[in-house]
Amino acid sequence: MRLAFAGTLVLALSVCSAAQAAEVRWTFTKQPAEVLGMPAGEEEADDVLRLTCSKGGAVQIGLGGYKSLGKGKGEKLSVTLASGTQSVTLNGKSVLSKNSEMTGAFELRADLAPGETQSLLGVLTAGAPIRVSGGLKDTWSVKGLKAIVERFSAGCVKS
């Protein structure tokens, strides 16, 4: 009986921890090369995470618009993303989100030079749910994200 209870407890704990990850719908566009993470099931939501490739392989990050991160007055923000053994801290400022005309939301905005993207890409391709801490606390699902980030990365290097 004890073994059955322990197995049920382990199963319940693993289901609960997986269920806590917010469902994110990940997409990729070629022009511009962009990774978008949106809350699943919401039509006119702001981005969970947005990576946009700029000339020369630099990447602009928009993060947290779905929760309206900051006050949008250029104040400094810091958010840490972790997945498996990988982690990266993103430092930026609070600005109007890309979809602010529809949502009125703010996001962390940061720009990474081509040589500064490796840690972020490591987190996004690690395969485990992404734990978010610092100015925003959440956990994101990653279904399909690894392949999307790999396509983005290959396309961004070419630009």
Q: How far is CA 26 from CA 15, 33, 115, in A?
A: 22, 14, 24
pLDDT value for 41: 85
pTM of the model as a whole: 0.84
Fold that domain 22-158 belongs to in CATH? Immunoglobulin-like (2.60.40)
In the 8-state DSSP scheme, what is residue 69? -
pLDDT value for 109: 97
Contact 136, 64 (CB under 8 A): yes
Task: Going residue by residue through the chain, which has 159 residues, state the pLDDT in tens, using 9 for 90 and above.
Answer: 444 434 433 333 333 444 477 899 999 999 889 999 999 988 778 899 999 999 889 999 999 999 989 999 999 999 999 999 999 999 999 998 888 878 888 999 999 998 899 999 999 999 999 999 999 999 999 999 999 999 999 988 765
Q: Where are the chain's structural domains? A: 22-158
Q: How far is CA 35 from CA 40, 87, 147, in A?
A: 15, 19, 11
